[in-house]
Structure 1
Amino acid sequence: MEKLRQDFLQIHPDDNVLVALRDLPAGYIAHFAGMEIKLKQHVQSKHKFTITTLRENSDVLMYGVLVGKTNSELHEGELITVDNLRHASDDFRLSERKTQWSRPDISAFANRTFNGFYRNNGTVGTANYWLVIPLVFCENRNILTLKSALEEKLGYQVESKDYADEVDALILKYKNGASAQDLLQLDLSPAGEKKGSTRLFENVDGIKFLNHDMGCGGTRLDSDALCGLLAGYISHPNVAGATVLSLGCQHAQASILKEEIAKRDPYFDKPLYIFEQQFEGTEQDLMQKALKATFAGLAEANKQTRQPATLDKLCIGLECGGSDGFSGISANPALGYVSDMMVSMGGSVILAEFPELCGVEQELSDRCIDEETAEKFMSLMKVYNAKAEANGSGFYMNPSPGNIRDGLITDAIKSAGAAKKGGTSPVTAVVDYPELANRPGLNLLCTPGNDVESTTAEVGSGANIVLFTTGLGTPTGNPIAPVIKISTNTKIFEKMSDIIDLNCGTIIDGEETIEEAAYRILDFVIQVASGEVKPKAVKLGQDDFIPWRRGVSL
C-alpha cells in the first residue's frame, strides 16, 4: 500500500463520503475523482463529508458497507453529524463460502522465535504468574489481605510513580495554614519512580490477586460462566498455578470450577490449592494455610525458565477501546495485517466485541470455514442484539460520547472500522463466552464491546498477549497477559505516552504504510512475549479484571 500524503481519504471505492485526515476549513475545495467538492462547513479531522448530494433516507456507505441513513437531504460537501445521520446496517444471511485470501509476506518472521514458558499440555506462556482468586465476592477481603501480606515482601509491588511526596507537600502546606485555594494552586514537585525490591522468586513474573463481585446471588448462568472464566485463567499458559479461596455455600462451587478446568485441560497438572472458609474454621486457619500453599507453589513455579518457542505458540487477542475516526484507517488495519501474518505462521488470533461487528456480519459469516460455523456466528449475533433490544438498548447504542465526538457517528461506522483488526483470513472457529478460542487461525469470540470485559474474556479464552488500539487513550490492562497499547493518531500518543506503547498515527501522517507498521508491531510483540520489554500496562500494574454478566453489556 502507498503512504497517505493527503488531506482526505475514500476508504473503499463504493463509499459516498470522504474522511478528513486534517482539519479542513469551510470553503475548502476537495479535488476528488475529477470533481471539485466545496465544503459547506468546517470539518474536523476524523469526521466525514459527502461526495454528492444525498436525498433524505439515502444510504451512506463507508468501508464498502451500509453504515447509516440520512435524516434529511444533504448537499455535496456537507458534514456528517449525529443530527443528519442515523444508524443502519444491512441484513445478513447464510451465503457461499468466501475463504480465498492473499497471504501476506512473512519471510522477515519465518525463523523468528520468542522465549516463553512451556506447559505440559503443549501451550507456551509469555509470562509466568501465580494466581490468588476468590470463587465468590465474600472472599475479596481475604484476597486483599493476602495481597498486602505477600506482594511487597516478595518484590512484586508496582514499579510506578509514587505520589507520597505530593501528599506530604499538601499536608505540610495545610498544617501551615494554607487555604483550599492555596492548595489548588500549589506547584507540586515531581515525585520519583517507585522502585521495586529484588524478587525472591526471579522466574515468577508476579502474584496476581483477582477480585470480582460475582459467585452468588445472581443467576446460575452467571456463576457457571464465572467458573468457566476462572478455569480459563487457571489453565492459561501464562499461569503456573493458583490458590483459590471459597466460602463454601455459594453458587460457584469448587466442584464446578474443577469440571471447567478439566474441559479446557483434561490432563491438568499445575499446582492448585482450594480452601473453603466454612470448612477450615477460623479466618486465621484459612489464611495461614493459604499463605503456606501459595509460598510452596511459588517455589515450584520458580523452577520454570524461558525457552525458545516458535511464533505459532502465540495466541493474540485483538481489542480496541476509546476508538476514534482514525481507528479503522490506521491502527486497526495494521492489527489486521498482524493477524494475517500470525495466521500464515500457524498462530491463533481472537476477534471479539460482537456489538462492534454490527454491519459486517455478512462478510465475516462468508469467511467462516463452513456453514455450521457461519450459522453459529449469525445466531450469536442475532440473539445478543435481540437481548439488547428487549432491554431498550440495541447495538445502535454502542458508540460512546467520545466515539461520536471523534467521528464514529453510528455503530455501523464504528463496527466497520473495528472489524479491520481481524484481517482477511478465513474464520476457523466461532466461540461463545467463556470457552477456549485458541484454534489456529482467526477465532471469533462472543463478548461485549466493553473494553475490560472483552479483554478479560479474550485472555480467559486463551490469548497470551493482547494488542489494544485506542484513539482517545484508554488506561487498562490485564493481570496475566501483557496488553500492548497502540494509538491511532500521533496526537494522543504524544499526549498519553505514559500508557501507550506504539504509535500508528504514523500511517495517517504519511510516514509509513500499514504493512510497515504491522512489521513494527509484530517485532514489539516478540520482544514482549520474550520478557525483554514490559508494556506500559504491565509497568503500571493495570490489572483490570471484570467478568461478563450475561445480561446486556455493549
Structure 2
Amino acid sequence: MPHTIASDSGRLASLRVHAADNVRVALEDLPAGSEIDADDRRLRLVETIRHKHKFALHDLAAGEAVVMYGVTVGRATRPIAAGAAITTENTEHDTASTAPQARRGQWQAPDVAAFQGATFDGYHRPDGSVGTANVWLVVPLVFCENRNIEVLRQCVADALGEDPYRDYKRMARELLHGAAGTTPPAPPAERLFPNVDGVRFLTHTLGCGGTDDDAQALCRLLAGYIGHPNVAGATVLSLGCQKAQIDMLREAVAERDPHGLRPVHYLEQQASHSETALIREALTTVFDGLAEANRVERAPAPLSALTLGVECGGSDGFSGLSANPVVGAVVDRLVALGGSGILSEFPELCGVEHELVARCRDDAVAQRFRNLMEAYQQHAARVGADFSMNPSPGNVRDGLITDAMKSAGAAKKGGDSPVVDVLDYTEPAVRKGLNLLCTPGNDVESTTALAGSGANLILFTTGLGTPTGNPVAPVLKIASNSELAGRMRDVIDFDAGPIIRGDTSIDELAERLLALCIDTASGRYRPRAVELAQYDFIPWKRGVSL
C-alpha cells in the first residue's frame, strides 16, 4: 500500500504506512499540542513526538494490539491516549498471526522494460558463475594463524604498493614528528595486476576449542568464500593440530567445486621447516595466483547472474519506510529479470512469518522456514534469550520500540516476490529468485553469511550509519535519511531520504539504485566500504546471537 503523508499547513508531517495501522510515524519533531491531519479528522498531540517515533491514532486500552505495516508490532501494557507516543514504557513486543496480505501465486512483477537486455561487465568463471569482483583470498583454518595472516597482509600491500592506510600512516607520522616526518614511497604509476581487485585476508577466532559442529560449520563457510564467484583462488594456512582440519575444508570445497576448477593452496605450519619458509611459500602462491587471476577480464553478463544479499544495520525509525522498501523494490526488479536475492536475519523476521509463509513457492519451502525459525527460537529460549531482545539501544532511541516493529520494516528489504527457497546457515543459494537465509541479526555475522551463500553484491541499509563491508562481495550502503547521507558521505553510497521528504517515489529510487548496482557489478563504481578497505568477516558460532 502506498505511503500516506499528512501535514499541518505544510509544516508538520507524519506518515501512516498501512490503512489498518493505529499509529503514525513522525517525520520531524512534533511539539505537544500540534494538530495533525489524521485521515478524516484532526488529532491533537498530547506530548512531544520525536521524529521517527510513533504516536497513537486513537485511545489504546491495556492489552490492545499496536498495529503498523498492517501487522501487530506490539501490545499496550497500559492505556495509551490518542496523540501519545508509543514507548518502551507503554508497549511491549508482541505478534499475532493475522490474515497475510500476500497470496501464493498472486505476485505482480514490476515493470522492468527499462532494464530488459541490460548487462553488467563481470568475471566469468569456469563453473558458469559470474563475479562482480576478482580477488585472491588468504584464509586461516584456525585463529592461531591470524598473526601470519597479518604478516602476509602487510607484506603483500608493501610489495604491490597498494597500502589502503597510506594517508592515515602519514597523518600519524606528522602528528608525532611534524610535517618533516618520513613520507612513504609513492604508489606505482600503474597497477601490476589491473584485472584483479586485490588480495583479501580473512581472520577469525574459530577453528579449535569448539565442537565438531563448529569446525564443520567454519569449513563450510570458508568453502563458500573460496568457491565464491568473486574469488579467483585461495591460499589456506593451517597450524596442523586444530579441530578444523585441512581434509575437512577440502571436502567442503569439493562440494562447492566438484571439478576442482578453482586453485586452492593448503599450507601447514607444523609441517613447514620454519615460519620464514611458510611465509615464503604463502607469498609465492599469492603472487602466482594474482598473475593467473589477471588473465581474466571483465565481459558482459546478463543481470540474471546477479545475486543480491540484503542487510540492515544501525536501523532507525525511517529504515522501514524508505531505504528498506527501496531495496525490496530493487530485489523485485532483479527477480523479474531472472536474478536472485537473499534475505537473512531470522530474528528480524519475527512477527511477519505468516507473510513470508504465504509467499513461499510451495508447502515444502514454507515448512522449512517454519522449522528453522522454530529451532532458532527454541535454542534462544534454552539460554534465556528471546527475539524480543533484538532491538539495540540505538534502534529504540530512534523509534524501533519492539522486535516486531523492527522486523516488519526489516522484511521490506525482501520485496514482494515469491520465496523460492529457505537456506540454513552456510548453504548455497541455487534457485533463482528470493531465498531466505537463517542467520542472526548481528550485522557482520549476517553479511558474512550472505557472501558465504553466494551473494555477489550486498545492499546494506542504515539509518544511524555503519561502515560495514565484506572481503569478497562489494557492499553498497543505503541511508534511510538525507541527514545521515550528508554527514557520513565517506560511508554512504546512496540516499533514500527523498522518500521521507516526499520528493520522489520508491519506484523512481529503485531504478536509480538498480542502475548503481549494475555500475558496481561492472567495476565502474567503487563502494565506500571498498575505498575504506572495510572488509569485515565474523563467522556465526551457531550459539545465540540476536
- TM-score band by shorter chain is over 0.9
Secondary structure in 2 aligned to 1:458? Answer: helix
- Distance (Å, rounded) in 2 between the aligned partners of 1:122 and 1:430: 23
Which residue of structure 2 aligns with residue 179 of structure 1?
none
CA spacing shift, 1:5–1:491, aligned 2, 3 Å: farther
Which residue of structure 1 aligns with residue 10 of structure 2?
none
- Distance (Å, rounded) in 2 between the aligned partners of 1:462 and 1:312: 13
- Distance (Å, rounded) in 1 between the aligned partners of 2:339 and 2:450: 15
Secondary structure in 1 aligned to 2:160? Answer: coil
- 1:18 partnered with 2:57: no
Secondary structure in 2 aligned to 1:523? Answer: helix
- 1:255 partnered with 2:255: no
- Distance (Å, rounded) in 1 between the aligned partners of 2:473 and 2:304: 17
Paired residues for 1:189-228 under 5 Å: 198-228=190-220
1:195-251 per-position Cα deviation (integer Å, ceiling 9, x unaligned): 676321111110011011100101111111110010000000000000001111111
Paired residues for 1:147-546 under 5 Å: 147-158=153-164, 161-162=167-168, 164-165=170-171, 167-171=173-177, 198-546=190-538
Secondary structure in 1 aligned to 2:158? Answer: coil
How far residue 108 of structure 1 moved from its aligned partner, in angstroms, is 0.7
Secondary structure in 2 aligned to 1:36? Answer: strand
Specify the code of the residue in structure 1 equivalent to 2:521. Answer: A
Specify the code of the residue in structure 1 equivalent to 2:453. Answer: S
Secondary structure in 2 aligned to 1:545? Answer: coil
Which stretch of the first structure deviates more once superposed, 245-254 or 459-468? 245-254
CA spacing shift, 1:337–1:492, aligned 2, 3 Å: same
- 1:27 partnered with 2:33: yes
Paired residues for 1:37-76 under 5 Å: 37-76=43-82
Which residue of structure 2 aligns with residue 177 of structure 1?
none
- Distance (Å, rounded) in 1 between the aligned partners of 2:99 and 2:23: 27
Secondary structure in 2 aligned to 1:387? Answer: helix
Give the alignment's TM-score, normalised by structure 2: 0.95
Q: Is the contact made by 1:330 and 1:514 (CA closer than 8 Å) also made in structure 2?
A: yes
- Distance (Å, rounded) in 1 between the aligned partners of 2:99 and 2:39: 34
1:420-444 per-position Cα deviation (integer Å, ceiling 9, x unaligned): 0001110000000011024210000
Which residue of structure 2 aligns with residue 549 of structure 1?
541
- Distance (Å, rounded) in 2 between the aligned partners of 1:92 and 1:374: 17
Which residue of structure 1 aligns with residue 126 of structure 2?
120
Q: Percent identity?
A: 53
CA spacing shift, 1:68–1:214, aligned 2, 3 Å: same
RMSD value over aligned CA atoms? Answer: 2.1
Q: Is the contact made by 2:71 and 2:98 (CA closer than 8 Å) also made in structure 1?
A: no
Secondary structure in 2 aligned to 1:491? Answer: helix
CA spacing shift, 1:486–1:94, aligned 2, 3 Å: closer
Q: Is the contact made by 2:5 and 2:16 (CA closer than 8 Å) also made in structure 1?
A: no
- Distance (Å, rounded) in 2 between the aligned partners of 1:3 and 1:416: 17
Specify the code of the residue in structure 1 equivalent to 2:415. Answer: G
Give the alignment's TM-score, normalised by structure 1: 0.93
Residue of 136, 139, 142 corresponding to 1:136: 142
- Distance (Å, rounded) in 2 between the aligned partners of 1:167 and 1:353: 42
Secondary structure in 2 aligned to 1:418? Answer: helix
Which stretch of the first structure deviates more once superposed, 261-270 or 484-493? 261-270
- Distance (Å, rounded) in 2 between the aligned partners of 1:73 and 1:165: 57
CA spacing shift, 1:65–1:235, aligned 2, 3 Å: same
Q: Is the contact made by 1:116 and 1:125 (CA closer than 8 Å) also made in structure 2?
A: yes
How far residue 107 of structure 1 moved from its aligned partner, in angstroms, is 0.6
- Distance (Å, rounded) in 2 between the aligned partners of 1:350 and 1:103: 17
Secondary structure in 1 aligned to 2:168? Answer: coil
Which residue of structure 2 aligns with residue 186 of structure 1?
none
1:317-362 per-position Cα deviation (integer Å, ceiling 9, x unaligned): 0010000111111010001110100110110100000000000001
Secondary structure in 1 aligned to 2:224? Answer: helix
What runs of 5+ residues in structure 2 fail to find an aligned partner?
8-12
- Distance (Å, rounded) in 2 between the aligned partners of 1:148 and 1:393: 41
Specify the code of the residue in structure 2 equivalent to 1:39. Answer: L
1:16-37 per-position Cα deviation (integer Å, ceiling 9, x unaligned): 0011112111001112222221
Specify the code of the residue in structure 2 equivalent to 1:356. Answer: E
Secondary structure in 2 aligned to 1:153? Answer: helix
1:243-300 per-position Cα deviation (integer Å, ceiling 9, x unaligned): 0011111111111111111222222311111011122232122222212122111111
Residue of 34, 42, 49 corresponding to 1:36: 42
CA spacing shift, 1:420–1:94, aligned 2, 3 Å: closer
Specify the code of the residue in structure 2 equivalent to 1:133. Answer: V
Specify the code of the residue in structure 2 equivalent to 1:80. Answer: I
How far residue 94 of structure 1 moved from its aligned partner, in angstroms, is 12
1:479-500 per-position Cα deviation (integer Å, ceiling 9, x unaligned): 1111000000011111111100
Secondary structure in 2 aligned to 1:435? Answer: coil
Secondary structure in 1 aligned to 2:67? Answer: strand
